[in-house]
Structure formats: structure tokens, C-alpha cells
Amino acid sequence: MTERIKGILSPVLTPFKTDYSPDAERLVSHCRWLLANDVSLAVFGTNSEANSLSENERVDLLERLVEAGIDPRRLVPGTGCCSLPETVRLTSRAVKLGCAGVLMLPPFYYKGVTDEGLYRSFAETIERVGDKRLRIYLYHIPPVAQVGISLSLIDRLLRAYPETIAGMKDSSGDWSNTKAVLDQFSKAGFDVFVGSETFLLANMRNGGKGAISATANVNPGNIAALYREWTSSAADAMQARLDSVRNIFGKYPMIAAMKRAVAHWKKDEDWSRVRPPLVEIASRESTRLIEELKAAGFDMPGIEDVSVRQMDQKEGVQA
């Protein structure tokens, strides 16, 4: 069996053109910068505005990424939709393209559904995809999806499909839940990723495998560094620095704020656009966000590809 993915993944921000269509070129460029920073690609996560994309748009973007040379072994696309046929189609496409795994939301429209119903959803998806290469990371994000993944559901799925059910992303924001999952399942080969780098060190110290975190879009290098060096004596100080950056973004609507930061540091205003029902952050808030980030010493080294080349050329001329 091939080795499973681990480390830091980013729910990659999805750039949009003026007509709100997904901008595949800018997406590829952002993915390359993340990979260069040792961060893998959980495209089509919550912070990717993936739930504002159609099934066809997701399939198209995934194919464009692989065609552009992005290594599918670094890709864990989100494929969980409200409807079984859409989840099956997206998941099948991801497996056939060679993706490391898929991040799967439970069907999230109907509330108060039973574990039996959720079990049937996941089981039916696995049976229909019918591919031994499939690796599913269950996506637990009750603050948004409202429908969550209980410990007993994990237990039942893991018993029925021990090879396929590879792990989870816990975005509950509740460490006691993450700890319970780790204690009960990590030794059975169930890989736990926390949904925020806030819990990265705690997760690693308790048998977890990494983080799939929004702010890995903007602070990838430093988060990946803590993953690599979590056993070092500097780890707690590194964690504290990550937290201070995260806390700044956390004061604003997260997706719009991260896109604002990319637009600023990449000097590319098109990056700030979000698709309805989200809205960009207001001008005054934008200014404050950037000031706060600068005051905290925040930077996005290397993201401004074009300018970096221009600088090199200037230096060449001066030399």
C-alpha cells in the first residue's frame, strides 16, 4: 500500500474572475506557491468556497490542476455534496486522477439525521466508487455543516471499510473531541488532521498526522515548519507565533480576509473577489487588516512571482 498523506494541507482559496467564474490560472499559481512552502492541497474545502461551486466547475478545476502538472499525490479534494450522485461522481474523478485522498463532508442539508443515515451515505458512496485506491478523510465541521461525524459513526465505518476510511479533518474547534478521536482510533491507522493550526502541536503530541488549515493559504511556510520541527525545543514558541497570525485573520470574515491578504502581497486586486453569498471585506477593514498583519511582522515571501522576477532583473542590471 502506498504511504498516506500527512503534514500540512491548505483548503486552497479559489480565485474568481470578474464574472465570478473560477480562475484556473491563478489557482494553479497559488497551488505552486503552497507546494513550494511544503503545504499540500485540500482544494475544494470550506475556505475554497467549494460549496459555492457547481459539480462541473469542481471537476473542471481538478482536471486543470493535474493537466498543469500539479502532483495528484499532493491533492486531497473536497468531494462531499448534499446529493449522492454528485459525491460519487466527484470522488470517482478524484480517484481516477490519482489524488491522495478525498475530504468528504456528510450530506449537509437535512438536519438531525441519524448515524444510520450518514453511514448509508458514506457506504453507498464507497460501494459506487468501487475503487480500492479510494482514501476518505471524513470532514467534521459542525459549526458550518451543522451535520457532524460522531465517534460511533467513525467506529462503524472503520470496521466496515478499514482501508478506505483513512482519517478525518476535525474542524469542530473542540480539542476534547479531537482528543477523543485520537485516543480511540489513531492506533487503528485512522489519521487525524486538525482543522486549525491552533491545535497542531497538541495534535502531533497525541498521535495526529497534521493540519488542514485555512490560514495555511497565507502563512504556509511557518505552519509547515512547526509540523517538521514539532519535537524541537522551539516548538511552543513557534506555535505561539502561528497563533498570533491566526488570531488577526480570525477577527475578520476569514475567507474574504485571506483573499485580501493574497491580493495585497501578490499585488493582484483580482484575488480579493469572493463569490456570493460571501462578500469582500470593506475598505476600512481591509486597511486595518493589512496594518495589523504588517505590525505583527507577517509576510508572504515569494508569492509575488512576477515582482520577484522583476527584482532579480533589476539586481542583474545593477550588478
Q: Does 202 bind a copy of itself (CB under 8 A)?
A: no
Select from 98, 130, 143, 162 the one that contacts a copy of itself (CB under 8 A).
Answer: 143
Number of residues engaging a copy of itself in binding (CB under 8 A): 39
Q: Does 147 bind a copy of itself (CB under 8 A)?
A: yes
What is the distance between the alpha carbons of residues 14 and 211, in angstroms, rounded to a whole number?
19
Task: Count CB atoms within 10 A of the CB of residue 164.
Answer: 20
Select from 108, 185, 190, 199 the one that contacts a copy of itself (CB under 8 A).
Answer: 108
What's the farthest any 2 CA atoms get from each other in the chain?
A: 69
217, three cell numbers: 493559504
Angle in degrees, 0-180, between the axes of helices 55-67 and 84-96, rounded to the nearest 10: 10
CB of 200 to a copy of itself, least distance (A): 25
Burial of 165 (0-12, 13-18, 19+ CB in 10 A): buried
Select from 25, 36, 98, 110 the one that contacts a copy of itself (CB under 8 A).
Answer: 110
Which CA distances in Å does 182 have to 68, 188, 206, 208? 36, 10, 7, 7
Q: Does 277 bind a copy of itself (CB under 8 A)?
A: yes
Q: Does 85 bind a copy of itself (CB under 8 A)?
A: yes
Q: Which range touches a copy of itself (CB under 8 A), out of 33-41, 54-62, 168-176, 292-300? A: 54-62
What is the distance between the alpha carbons of residues 296 and 248, in angstroms, rounded to a whole number?
9
CB of 50 to a copy of itself, least distance (A): 9
**How would you classify the pairing of strands 165-170 and 102-104?**
unpaired
Pick 278 or 290: Cβ nearer a copy of itself: 278
CB of 146 to a copy of itself, least distance (A): 6
Rule CB under 8 A: which residues touch a copy of itself?
20, 46, 51-57, 81-86, 106-111, 113-114, 116-118, 120-121, 124, 143-147, 275-279
